[in-house]
Structures are given as C-alpha cells and as structure tokens.
Structure 1
C-alpha cells in the first residue's frame, strides 16, 4: 500500500531479534533457574555479531524502531536471532535434540516465545513475532501454537528443519497433521527460514563450502515435502512461507514438481510400468498439482530481493512476494534499505511495488494498514524516490542485494 502522502508502507517480512542471554532467565520457570545459571556461566557465544556493541539491536526496542524508521520501514516480521537458553547455537541451525535434551530445549524456546510476546507488545501493531517450536512432540508443538496466537504473536510459527537422519518423521509425514490442523484453524502462517534443515557437516573448509552450496536446497525441501505429503489437501487453510531462501528458484522448481507429479500420476495408471509403484495413490493423497498448491497456499519472504529476481515476479505470483531487509544481519540492507528497494523495484508500476514491499505482508500476517499508513506518511520512501534507478552502490553496503548483476544467482 502507498500511504496518504504517496509514500510506500514498507513492512520487512524478514527481521531478527532475541533477548540478551541473561534476560531470558525471568521467562524460565523457577525450576530451571539454577540450571540456567550454571549453563550460562560456561556458555561461550560463537557469533561475533552477538558480542559486538551493536548486538543490542536485537533487544533494544527504542533503537530498533529508530533505525528501522530511518531505513523507511514501519513494521517487521520478527524471526529469532540470539541464543535461547540451553541451546548450543542459534535455534535455526541447532541440531534436532535427543530425548535427554528435549525438556531443556522446550524450556528455552518457551522462554524465547514469552520474551518475544513482551517485545512485540512494546511496539503495538508494528511487530509480528514468529513463535518457535520443536517437532519431537507434535501435541506440545500444537499447544505452543495456540499459546502464541492467544498471546499476540501474529507472525505465525517457525517450522524447524528436519535434516536427514534427524530421528523424527520427515515433513511429508501425516504425523504432523495435528500441528497443521491447529495452524489452519487459527490462521497461523507456517514459516520456514533459510539455513534450517541442513545436516551437520563439520567445520573443515570443504564442509563450509558444501554448506553454502546445499543450505538453500535443504530449506526448499519443505515445499515439496508438504506438497507431495498432501498437507495442503487435508488442511486447505494451511499457509507456508519460505523466507530468506531467494525467490528466483521458484518458477523452475514448480515446473520440475509439476513434471514429476504428472509423470508419476500417469504412471500409476499403467501398472505394468516400473514407475507405477512410485505414483500409486499420489493424485488422491495430494490433490492439485504443485504449482496450483503454490498459488493457493504458499508465499515467499524475498529478503533483499535482487534485480534479476524481479522479472520473474509474475511467474512467482506478485501476490506471493514479501520483501525483507534482514535487519540486523550484516547481509541485510540496513542502513541502505531505500537503495535496496530502488535497485530492485525502480521502474515498476507503483501498485506492484506497494504489494511486494508491504501490502502482501500486511495480508499474510494481519498488519493493520490504518495504523501503519500514517507512520509511513512520515518515514516511508516516496514513490518517486523508489522509481529512480540506483546508479551508485553505497560504498559500505554489505548486502547481496547490491552484488554486481550476473555474479549472484539465486538457485
């Protein structure tokens, strides 16, 4: 949407936040306090950005609002960033816990969710917090989704990755139906963020390179697991958002999935063929073709969208794309989000830009534009500003949004 002063109402569909580690303690049940003190005393944070003097961007509400407004952004979807209690690393990347760790990890995630509810309440209508769950116990996960919805976390739920060998059912399993049912019933978006679902590869140079090559692919798997698994047929109101995984890959992957769907469904009717067993029951189980499922149920959090992704917007679905700044990460567009918007969207019809930079996110996450438009009229980028092509990249910009065209490809 454009605000009343011909400014865009910009909602970042991908930002990150979390508490400073000691500040999680009050959100833990008292039975965990002594154990938390012992754990926190020996925990060594492995992330430089969470040790820097700018780390408070994750939890300093006033600083965060001021910096986002200076960047032209009036509201945000808030994914996790800091280390929850009892986790070995950021929760997006942490391995699936075994039975010995499960209760502690649940306590840590619940502490984060309760901190996040208070953090979002400090800026009413401007933060859609994404609740965290574990998949080891589906009933517990569904109960936490109910708690999150009832306590103002409007960003939906973060779907953990299920790497191969994790010991829990794959995402296509009907074991997760109680969770999908609650999300559909309460209109809770299911978010799957890039970086999740990769197997543990170690820390050798080759392992780090392989991680970079494979990490987005492992994140993409949630799309075809839920689609072929029939989750959207059994729960038509279920919505899946794939965030910070790029968007340029989507048209090609949908074509590939449609190809396999058609091939396997056709083969199922020819029992004498070798492929017949692979397509048996597929049509009845999943219903529509994958591309139809995408357009009915799925969205993309297209963080720091690159210029070469924009021409694909009609194939992706202009009503599916939600721009994000990835604040406060180094790869995010802050403090050059206005320039990031220009390099991606200059020359496009304003109504298309308005949808991708804010209108779609408002619809998916329930932001109230009547509340946000007046703020955008004060701080949002003007339509004329974003229409002006960016001719000079800011010297200190670190986001891939500003990589020279042709050097970055989103798979």
Structure 2
C-alpha cells in the first residue's frame, strides 16, 4: 500500500496480478528461433490454423502490444503482473499449457519453440521495467536442458520463475515425484527461482465429445493439484529446502481439506511402516526419511497459491490457507478474467476485510514471491490503484456483461 501504516479510506492498494497471460503473434516468434529452424518454421506456419478464436480476434494484440496492455491494466487498477504464456509457440499444435507432452520426434522443435517464447518474453518484460515478472517455459523430456534454461531465464531477468509442465498419465515422462527431476529442483533452490504449476496443464487427453469436455472441467483442477502431493511425498522439499512451489489458477478453497488429507495419509503410512507385520507397512516404508517434515509444514514453509479471481466463499478460508500464501490474479486477457471489472471483482471478494489483509493478498505477497519493488509500484498505484474505501464497499450487483466466474452466482458451496 502507498501508506505504510494506518491506511485511510483514500489510500490506494498496490495491485499485482499473479496470473496474467501473454505471448507473441505467431510470425513474430521467427526472429527468436535459431536460424537452422527458420525453414521448418516457415513451412509449419504457412499451414497452421489457430484453434483459438481469441487469438485471431480483434482483441488478440492484448497479448503482445506492450503499451495497450499497460494502459488497460492500469485503467483496471493493476500496476504489475506475473506473465504466463498464452499464444501458440512455434511447432506446437495448441497453446503450450494444453498441448500434450511431445514425442521423441517432436521434442527438438517443441523445445526450440519454447526457447523462442522465453527470449521473446524477456524482451517483452524489458519494455516495462519492474512491471512484469515473466514465467519461463521448460519441457521435462530433457532435465539437463531444462536446468540450462532455468539458468538462462534467471540471467535474463525472467523473475516469474519457471512454468512446471504437467506429467499426466500416458505423457511418457516420469511422474513429478521421480528423483530424476532433482537437478531441476536443485537449480531452482540454488537460484531462488519459483516453480509455478498452472491449472489446465496436467490433464490427460479426453477427446472432444460433450461428455469429455464436461469431464475435463470437473477434473482439470484435480490433475493440477497432483503436483503438490507428488513433490511432497517425493521428498523434493526435504532435499531442496529452499524450493518454492506456486499453484496458480486452480482455486484455493480446496487447500485446507487436501492438506488435512495429506497429513492423514502421511501419519498413517509412517506409523504403519513401524509395524512390519501389517499389510499396509510396505506402503510407508522409507517415507519418513524421504519426506522429512509433514505436508502441513511443507505448505507453511515452501508453498503459495496464485488464487486468481478469488470467489467470496474462498476468502473466509484465508487463515487456514495462510494469509501470507495467497496471491490474487486477474487472468488478463482471458474471457474468464476480471478485466475490465477488476475493482468490482476485488469488492465482491474482499469488501469488509481489514485493509492490511487485502493489501497482502492483492499485492504484497506477490511482491515478496516474485521480487517486485513495491516502492516503484506504489508510485504508479498512487495514480491508478483502487482506494481502500472503494474496495471496502460491498458489491450489490455484478456488472451485467461480466464474464468472469468471480461473479458467478451460487458459488458459496464450491471448495475446489
């Protein structure tokens, strides 16, 4: 917040969106590819048909037009953003968040496409110093290559960390609990690089029938949650105590119950391992030594949630989740994002809360996790941030044309 203590009604919140998306227009990736891939890229791009209407519609330039993006976010009360991918990178069939893991034959070109995106993103972030924390992309097929890319991203100012791909059943890559990924966790720990796991990136292919699409919506967040218990039970945080995991755009209301469940299984299996005569003993063998501390302690010390547009039913759980863990996001420029009604989205979630708590969730926590300079951002927020009085006013009616689930009715019973 612009005032360090005792915020008054006219003080303004410094809002950092921990969940935004961007990417280059398809042909603009070409200069960022190695020259040896240009001919293949030209042939691929000439026949590629983009499956996403929002990436060919008039609003698509929001993804790459730096000036427009800054203006729209500021008008919406947001002064900085964590930038996840959105557009289709070279040689991918779809956006990288939803693309299946590459085959061995596809790997080289897909990896070249992600590296081109990372290099474009570094330039994009440099156009707005201190305002963007770009999230670099990696693939899990070659851990050594991923480690090198983490080092490159750190050296080139991508302060958003890395995007951890999903490893859904049938992907062909080891599960995330596998020790094969230890070099990746080690370099992220060494360089203080956040590991982000975004919703929608870990589901197996289900097809395109109406039932399959409905099942995807029911299951997609669960598949994204799996990264949490894979890394916990795999002992990643025991071996790399400085590793930080951020779970983004997969809700937050599920966290307390899931942590209780993980704590139950941890205690049950560790206890069973001491009773060799039981059939369950084998399931807990070696678990205590591999994991170290329990799931609740791992969450407390190592994990955060990019809660995106928090729904009203999630906010009362903030103390059980950890107030210092929660980072709000607008999901700009997606249709389900809060733009251009971010102020209303903040009101529907946070009206009536202590301003210090609101300030932490809408900006302070993200500044700490991603290294934003709040002094710099407070200067911008002094002109464009929403006021304490504005957000304290309960929202009586959502905007009629709002498309974000933040305004969806009947959400009070959903906890996932």
- TM-score, normalized by length of structure 2? 0.98
Post-superposition CA distance 1:15-65 (Å, at most 9, x none):
000000010000001111111010000000000100110000000000000
CA drift at 1:392: 1.5
| Contact 2:333/2:339 (8 A) holds in 1 | yes
Matches within 5 A, 1:260-299: 260-299=265-304
| Contact 1:308/1:405 (8 A) holds in 2 | no
Say whether residues 1:43 and 2:48 are aligned partners. Answer: yes
CA distance in 2, matches of 1:67, 1:247: 27
- Partner in structure 2 of residue 360 of structure 1: 365
| Contact 1:3/1:377 (8 A) holds in 2 | no
- Partner in structure 1 of residue 77 of structure 2: 72
CA drift at 1:206: 1.0
- Partner in structure 2 of residue 373 of structure 1: 378
CA drift at 1:127: 0.2
Say whether residues 1:228 and 2:233 are aligned partners. Answer: yes
User: What SS is found at the alignment partner of 2:28?
Assistant: helix
CA distance in 1, matches of 2:76, 2:249: 19
- Partner in structure 2 of residue 198 of structure 1: 203
Matches within 5 A, 1:231-242: 231-242=236-247
| Contact 2:313/2:412 (8 A) holds in 1 | no
Decide whether aligned partners of structure 1 residues 368 and 27 sit closer, same or farther in structure 2, where only a CA change above 3 A counts: same
CA drift at 1:189: 0.1
Matches within 5 A, 1:149-188: 149-188=154-193
- Partner in structure 1 of residue 139 of structure 2: 134
CA distance in 2, matches of 1:382, 1:142: 42
CA distance in 1, matches of 2:121, 2:170: 31
CA drift at 1:408: 6.5
CA distance in 2, matches of 1:234, 1:137: 21
Match 1:332 to one of 306, 329, 337? 337
CA distance in 1, matches of 2:413, 2:349: 14
- Partner in structure 2 of residue 218 of structure 1: 223
Matches within 5 A, 1:96-107: 96-107=101-112
User: What SS is found at the alignment partner of 2:323?
Assistant: coil
CA distance in 2, matches of 1:299, 1:27: 32
User: What SS is found at the alignment partner of 1:101?
Assistant: helix
The unaligned stretches of length 5 or more in structure 2 are 5-9
RMSD across aligned positions (CA): 0.9
User: What SS is found at the alignment partner of 2:113?
Assistant: helix
User: What SS is found at the alignment partner of 1:381?
Assistant: coil
CA drift at 1:407: 6.4
Say whether residues 1:56 and 2:61 are aligned partners. Answer: yes
CA drift at 1:406: 3.6
Matches within 5 A, 1:294-333: 294-333=299-338
CA distance in 2, matches of 1:409, 1:205: 22
